[in-house]
Amino acid sequence: MSGRPEILFPLFADLETLQGVGKKTAQALAALHVEKPKDLLLSLPHTGVDRRKRATVQGAEIPGVVTVEVTVGQHRHPTKRGGAYRINVEDAATSFQLVFFHARDDYLRKILPTGARRVVSGKVELFDGIINLVHPDHVLEPKDAADIPDFEPVYPLTAGVTQKTMRKAAASAVERVPGLAEWIDPAQKAQTGWPDWSDAVMAAHTPEDMQDLASTHPARERLAYDEMMAHQLTLALARSQLKRAKGRETVGTGQLQARVLDALSYSPTGAQTRAIAEIAADMAKPVKMNRLLQGDVGAGKTLVAFKALLIAVEAGGQGVMMAPTEILARQHLEGLRPLAESAGVVLEILTGRDKGAERRAKLSALKNGKIQILVGTHAVFQKDVEFGDLRLAIVDEQHRFGVRQRLELGRKGAQADTLVMTATPIPRSLSLAQYGDMDISVLDEKPPGRKPIKTALVNMARMDEVVDHLRKAIAEGRQAYWVCPLVEESEVIDLSSATDRFKRLRAALGEGKVGLVHGQLPADEKDAAMRAFQTGETAVLVATTVIEVGVDVPNASIMVIERAESFGLAQLHQLRGRVGRGAQASTCLLIYQAPLSENGTTRLETMRETEDGFRIAEVDLEMRGAGDLIGTAQSGLPRFRVADLERQAALMAVAQSDARKLLAEDPDLTTDRGQAARVLLYLMEQDQAIRLIEVG
């Protein structure tokens, strides 16, 4: 990065410039994502060992670590090959044994000569009533005993790196820590009692007892906050760039919205009304809206999205709703069609399938404003797609839409407002980390009339009963999904497991009753199978992946998930949400293969106990950690070294408001504190932010 400040150069030098780090060690450290001294500074010890010297092992906590001065007694060689080499020693009050395996006696006689005084430190255990200290960590002459710290930090290791190497390298990195100007708000710093950055780094690497290793210790908390602050500054810079982008004031008349509300058989929930008000207020401002609409399965996002699109139409403009796949785009079309009819607006769909004359006709209708609301896939991004007056773009997200794509979309409708929808409830700490550049509206109530879904766990051994249950349900005119597991990442195996299940169910339930969709099917066959299920021609739909089932079939009231233990919680929750959309009571059967792992049990029991997506997401986060939950590869989630997204959610919220406040007061980061914050961005290698400030 071109503009890295000179004061940081020593922290970005080669690892081999550190004490005790040669080429081999440097290569080994890369496995811990440690590539420069700065990375080592932020790789903190995760635990520590109390090595304060005691007079005797008597009364020590066993097993535990002791450091004690002894007189060396006789050496006893192993009686059989590969046996233990023992050395008797005596401290001030008792005698015990040092034990070595695969030891060279000439070496041991040299470091532990009989009759000499030595200080030994290591883990003692009781074996057959005798205290053993196996392979001491330290053996020193009394004059060198001060080399053993009273409290020794223990670092995370990787193959080819010892604690000793790690401690030496870290200490050497700490020596070159520069004093940096403060980027933290003075009031915040005073209130928390956080040390300066350089003092915090020093303290974190020289703990004096276990308390110093807690994430709540001021030095550690500060370093965690710095990482979060750098991340939130990046998001806030992206946000302010979007906010600076001129928007248009889009104010609805309310007429079309009123028609839709009249046509509804129920009134919107408080959460829906609140979300619509937040969106309308954003659209009315002269800056671009950049909002996330987050709601659980069945929380009524479609109505909120449609009312937002109507505001655009009432103001004389157009709106577009984009879905990640064609099947989902068509589903949005189906969901919006009755609403569009009641409002009397022109709704169309544009996907990669539109070709030739039909496509040209749609493009011209878009350009001259005849199409008021467009539903589409990413085909909407193509060069030749032009809107007459695009006011609002809604993106149905499904985690594929990072900060970068959000900036990209902004270029299409140069002044269009953006609303991103996600059906995945995300715990607050993560939504701040992932969507910190956006304002968030949450739908946390379900519309009236949605019946709870009964969830049961069924052992694989009772498969016949499940099929019987299904046979009776079908006879009553009900429909069911049957989801087969992703066996491995191999579509061939998935395919065979789904095909086998399909054949067996067809044999048990009757020829024309069962349909099949899987990843390998050509698109038109997939659509035909989905359509047959939607129209009720088939009663059971066997599907491999979650994605294929993104279609709404109100009459489907049974969801069978085979090998449910192999799915993640969020996936199970999304799948279950596919039923319970119609008038009947619905059930979800989670078929598992015994014995279940502890994690498997927790996941399935959580599903049985709650339908609250936010609660489920919290459990998921506790179990899997932040990176897995979102799939770190495409999540845009930062890899923090010190900060813990799960346990320090409150700190993330503080970092977000601090970052936004700093940018509001100093948009170009030119004040003293702004300049310090720039150094923080370089220190934490926030490339995206740096591009924004360097260009800015």
Q: Which residues contact 80 (CB under 8 A, 6 or more apart)?
A: none
Span 663-683, pLDDT tens digits: 989 988 999 999 999 999 999
- List helix spans (H) across 455-490: 463-475
Of 8-22, 219-233, 547-561, the one with minimum mean pLDDT is 547-561
What is the 8-class DSSP label of residue 246?
B
Q: Which residues contact 15 (CB under 8 A, 6 or more apart)?
A: 21, 25, 26, 29, 34, 35, 36, 37, 40, 169
Terminal Cα distance for the chain, rounded: 15
CA-CA-CA-CA dihedral for 445, 448, 450, 454, to nearest 10: 70
Q: Is residue 696 part of a domain?
A: no
Q: Does residue 502 sit in the same domain as residue 599?
A: yes
Q: What is the residue type of 34?
A: V
Classify burial at 286, counting beta carbons within 10 Å of its beta carbon; exposed 0-12, middle 13-18, buried 19 or more.
exposed
> Which pLDDT value is given to residue 399?
46
Last residue of a domain, one of 148, 165, 197: 148
Q: Does residue 40 sit in the same domain as residue 57?
A: no
| 635 has a pLDDT exceeding 50 | no
Span 311-341, pLDDT tens digits: 999 999 999 998 877 878 888 898 889 889 9
Closest CA to 515 of 490, 551, 479, 491: 479
Instruction: Pick left, alpha or beta for residue 550 (phi over 0 → left; psi -120 to 50 → alpha; otherwise beta).
Output: alpha
Span 641-667, pLDDT tens digits: 898 877 787 898 899 999 999 998 998
Note down the domain range covering 95: 52-148
Average pLDDT taken over every residue of the chain: 84
HSE of 604, CA atoms in CB hemisphere, 13 A: 25
Per-residue confidence band for 630, with pLDDT thresholds at 50, 70 and 90:
very low
> Which pLDDT value is given to residue 313?
94
CA angle (489, 491, 497) in 5-degree steps = 105
| 180 has a pLDDT exceeding 60 | yes
| 210 has a pLDDT exceeding 80 | yes
Q: Which residues contact 382 (CB under 8 A, 6 or more apart)?
A: none
> Which pLDDT value is given to residue 489?
52
Span 104-154, pLDDT tens digits: 888 888 888 888 899 999 889 888 888 888 888 888 888 888 878 889 898
> Which pLDDT value is given to residue 596?
85
Do 123 and 63 touch, CB atoms closer than 8 A? yes
Classify burial at 245, counting beta carbons within 10 Å of its beta carbon; exposed 0-12, middle 13-18, buried 19 or more.
middle
Q: Is residue 657 part of a domain?
A: no
| 198 has a pLDDT exceeding 70 | yes
Span 380-416, pLDDT tens digits: 777 778 888 899 989 886 545 555 555 555 555 567 8
Q: DSSP characters for 72-122?
A: EEEEE--SSTT-EEEEEEE-SS-EEEEEEES--HHHHHHHS-TT-EEEEEE
> Which pLDDT value is given to residue 545?
64
Q: Does residue 379 sit in the same domain as residue 505?
A: no
> Which pLDDT value is given to residue 185?
93
> Which pLDDT value is given to residue 257?
92
Q: What is the residue type of 72?
A: V
Classify burial at 336, counting beta carbons within 10 Å of its beta carbon; exposed 0-12, middle 13-18, buried 19 or more.
buried
Q: Is residue 557 part of a domain?
A: yes
CA-CA-CA-CA dihedral for 223, 224, 227, 232, to nearest 10: -130
Helix (H) or strand (E) holding 564: none
Q: Does residue 44 sit in the same domain as residue 57?
A: no
Instruction: Pick left, alpha or beta for residue 563 (phi over 0 → left; psi -120 to 50 → alpha; otherwise beta).
Output: left
CATH, residue 133:
2.40.50.140
CATH, residue 401:
3.40.50.300
Q: What is the residue type of 215?
A: S
Q: What whole-number percentage of the chain has pLDDT above 70?
A: 91
Q: Does residue 276 sit in the same domain as residue 290?
A: yes
Q: Cα–chain-centroid distance for residue 322?
A: 24
Distance CA 376, CA 393 (A): 11
- List helix spans (H) across 388-490: 403-412, 428-435, 463-475
Q: Is the peptide bond before 595 cis (omega within 30 degrees of 0)?
A: yes
Span 469-523, pLDDT tens digits: 999 999 999 999 999 876 555 555 555 678 888 889 988 888 788 988 877 777 7
HSE of 428, CA atoms in CB hemisphere, 13 A: 12
Helix (H) or strand (E) holding 649: helix 649-665
Q: Does residue 489 sit in the same domain as residue 564?
A: yes
Q: Is residue 653 part of a domain?
A: no
> Which pLDDT value is given to residue 349?
93
Closest CA to 655 of 54, 53, 188, 13: 188
Secondary structure class of 323 (helix, strand, coil): coil
Q: Does residue 26 sit in the same domain as residue 89?
A: no
- Which of 666-693 are b and which e, b meaning 16 or more Cβ less than 10 Å from the residue's Cβ? eeebeeebbebbbbbbbbbebeebbebb
Do 443 and 293 touch, CB atoms closer than 8 A? yes
Q: Cα–chain-centroid distance for residue 75?
A: 56
Classify burial at 59, counting beta carbons within 10 Å of its beta carbon; exposed 0-12, middle 13-18, buried 19 or more.
exposed
- Which of 65-86 are b and which e, b meaning 16 or more Cβ less than 10 Å from the residue's Cβ? bbbbbbebbebeeeeeeeebbb
Distance CA 29, CA 161 (A): 7
Distance CA 467, CA 29 (A): 54
> Which pLDDT value is given to residue 407?
56
Per-residue confidence band for 632, with pLDDT thresholds at 50, 70 and 90:
very low
**Number of domains the chain is built from:** 4
Q: DSSP characters for 253-312?
A: -SHHHHHHHHH-SSPPPHHHHHHHHHHHHHHHSSB--EEEEEE-TTS-HHHHHHHHHHHH
Q: Does residue 175 sit in the same domain as residue 307?
A: no
Last residue of a domain, one of 587, 610, 633: 610
Q: Does residue 399 sit in the same domain as residue 268?
A: yes
Last residue of a domain, one of 417, 443, 469: 443
Q: Is residue 378 part of a domain?
A: yes
Closest CA to 578 of 603, 610, 537, 548: 548
Tokens, residue 482: 């049957």
Q: Does residue 428 sit in the same domain as residue 484?
A: no
Q: Is residue 38 part of a domain?
A: yes
Average pLDDT over residues 350-378: 89
Tokens, residue 614: 């936010």
Q: Is residue 666 part of a domain?
A: no
Q: Does residue 191 sit in the same domain as residue 334?
A: no
Q: Is the pTM here over 0.75, yes or no?
A: no
Tokens, residue 624: 């899997």
Q: Does residue 508 sit in the same domain as residue 565?
A: yes
Span 542-562, pLDDT tens digits: 887 645 445 678 788 999 999
| Beta-bridge partners for 483 | 543, 561
| Beta-bridge partners for 54 | 68
Q: Is residue 694 part of a domain?
A: no
